[in-house]
Amino acid sequence: MATEKPAGLFAAAALSIALVSYLLFSHQTSAILPWRKAPRKCPRRKRKERRGLVEAIGNTPLIRINSLSDATGCEILGKAEFLNPGGSIKDRVAVKIIEEALESGALVEGGIVTEGSAGSTAISLATVAPAYGCKCHVVIPDDAAAEKAQIIEALGANVERVRPVSITHRDHFVNVARRRALEANKLAAKLGEASEIKDNGMSKDYSKGGFFADQFENLANFRAHYEGTGPEIWEQTEGNLDAFVAAAGTGGTVAGVSRYLKEKNPNVKCFLIDPPGSGLFNRVTRGVLYTKEEAEGRRLKNPFDTITEGIGINRLTKNFLMADLDGAYRGTDKEAVEMSRYLLKNDGLFIGSSSAMNCIGAVRAARALGPGHTIVTILCDSGIRHLSKFYNTQYLTDLGLAPNATALEFLDHP
């Protein structure tokens, strides 16, 4: 028995030495290999509520457009809105319109959102509406790019095509969309709570009523950019920008962003770029909403004579009236086509027609301000929605708009 005691003491001592060695080695390893850190307890944080698809909208990157920046000596930055889930800047507007309508009670879950749109807003509403438990009915002019209507239908929205007419006509696509919302509300009132009643499916779809999104006059559009896009641009540039340029359709983007930036720094210059047939250039530069096509009686069937889609208008919307602008530039269809191909070739940017027009405006502003300035514009959507017209070689050739420039010489004559 006496011989076992030293053995037990020896075992205990060996264990103690091993434990001390392990602790010392662990400490030394942490110093030598800093990536091997001892685990530590983190305070429990309240988990942020996740909102599904809606969370992915906004906070898009602000990218340097290298070719235009190098050519002008300015930093020309594009807000990559084509990276939103629905593929365009209109995702922001769709979310804001639907959320405000739900909050006010003008729209209820299960209700139908109606809108008259040439494409992008319709796609965004059709994308976003299901995330809020709502349906979507879109009225679209039948001369819009065919792929836009196909996308809207694929997203599950009802698509109604109408012929292009003046906004003053009762059958203009916006006016038809407004009527469809009223019809849905009348039907809902008639049905009451009888949501299971069916007559060709219409009653069931409209039994919760309708809400007309009204992107042109609904100031939720303006607020989407005043509260979202504008602040993001300011933060991403750290307030170091000299100018902002964008075209206007509804006017929400140029109004919301310009007003926000001007409030942050009155020295930031904000400009409009206007396509052919639109009267906004003259409104900004001369105070009169006027376009020579109207004066000369050459107006065609379209609301404005341009191949660019979603921009240009001949009336003042509530959203546009919120804009704070220093001036305006004009762009042509030919310039837009050439710019899109130039950016694809030199930057790998596959952009839509309105984005191309915005980039024309950015170059005009850069040349006017001179080298060393920072100009921001919007890359609204990608070219994938413009294959049948804007990127259709035969279509452009028939209109005399086939691209042939090798550099930026197409912008040498503003």
Tell me the per-residue pLDDT of 318-376, one tens digit each, with 9 for 90 and over: 999 999 999 999 999 999 999 999 999 999 999 999 999 999 999 999 999 999 999 99
Task: Look at residue 22 in the predicted model and tell me its pLDDT.
Answer: 52
pLDDT at residue 11 in the model: 56
DSSP string, 173-201: HHHHHHHHHHHHHHHHHHHTT-TT--STT
CA 409 to chain centre: 29
Distance of CA 215 to the CA centre of its chain: 13
Domains of the chain: 52-83+228-407 (3.40.50.1100), 90-212 (3.40.50.1100)
pLDDT at 400: 95
In this structure, are residues 389 and 90 in contact, taking their beta carbons and an 8 Å threshold?
no
Residue 296, both tokens: 């000369």
Determine contact, residues 137/160, Cβ cutoff 8 Å: yes
pTM comes to: 0.83
pLDDT for residue 150 is more than 70: yes
Beta bridge partners of 327: 271
pLDDT digits (tens, 9 = 90+) for 127-147: 999 999 999 999 998 887 788
pLDDT value at residue 200 = 35
pLDDT in tens, 364-400: 999 999 999 999 999 999 999 899 999 999 999 999 9
Under the banding of pLDDT at 50, 70 and 90, the label for residue 33 is very low
Counting residues of the chain whose pLDDT is more than 70, the rounded percentage is 80
pLDDT of residue 199: 43
* Alpha carbons 315 and 278: distance in angstroms, whole number: 9
Highest mean pLDDT among 82-86, 192-196, 304-308, 405-409: 82-86
- pLDDT given at position 325: 98
Per-residue pLDDT at 238 exceeds 50: yes
Q: How far apart are CA 339 and CA 360, in angstroms?
A: 7
Distance CA 136, CA 291 (A): 35
pLDDT band at 414 (very low <50, low <70, confident <90, very high): low
67: confidence class by pLDDT, cuts 50, 70, 90 = very high
pLDDT at 412: 82
The band of 167, judged by pLDDT with boundaries at 50, 70 and 90, is confident
Average pLDDT of the residues of the chain: 86
DSSP string, 96-163: HHHHHHHHHTSS-TT-EEEEE-SSHHHHHHHHHGGGGT-EEEEEEETTS-HHHHHHHHHTT-EEEEE-
The whole-angstrom separation of Cα 91 and Cα 127 is 8
**Regarding beta strands 269-274 and 327-330, do their DSSP bridges make them parallel or antiparallel, or are they unpaired?**
parallel
Residue 252, pLDDT above cutoff 60 = yes
pLDDT > 90: percent of the chain = 70
**Helices 333-347 + 353-369 axis angle, to 10:** 90
> 377 CB contacts (<8 Å, ≥6 apart)?
76, 77, 78, 79, 244, 245, 246, 358, 359, 361, 362
Confidence of residue 190 (pLDDT cuts 50, 70, 90): confident
Angle between helices 120-128 and 146-154 (to 10 degrees): 10
Q: Are 358 and 340 in contact (CB under 8 A)?
A: no
Q: What is the pLDDT of residues 261-286, one digit of tens each?
A: 999 999 999 999 999 999 999 999 99
Determine phi and psi for 113, rounding to 5 degrees.
Answer: -95, 125
Amino acid type, 305? D
- Buried/exposed code over 52-79 (b: 16+ C-beta within 10 A; e: otherwise): eebeebbebebbebebbbebbebbbbbb
User: Containing H/E element for 389?
Assistant: none
pLDDT at 297 over 50: no
What gap in Å lies between CA 202 and CA 181, rounded to an integer? 13
- In the prediction, which pLDDT does 300 show? 43
Q: DSSP string covering 234-255, please?
A: HHHTTT--SEEEE--SSSHHHH
| Amino acid at the residue 340 | S
pLDDT at residue 34, as a whole number: 47
pLDDT band at 301 (very low <50, low <70, confident <90, very high): very low
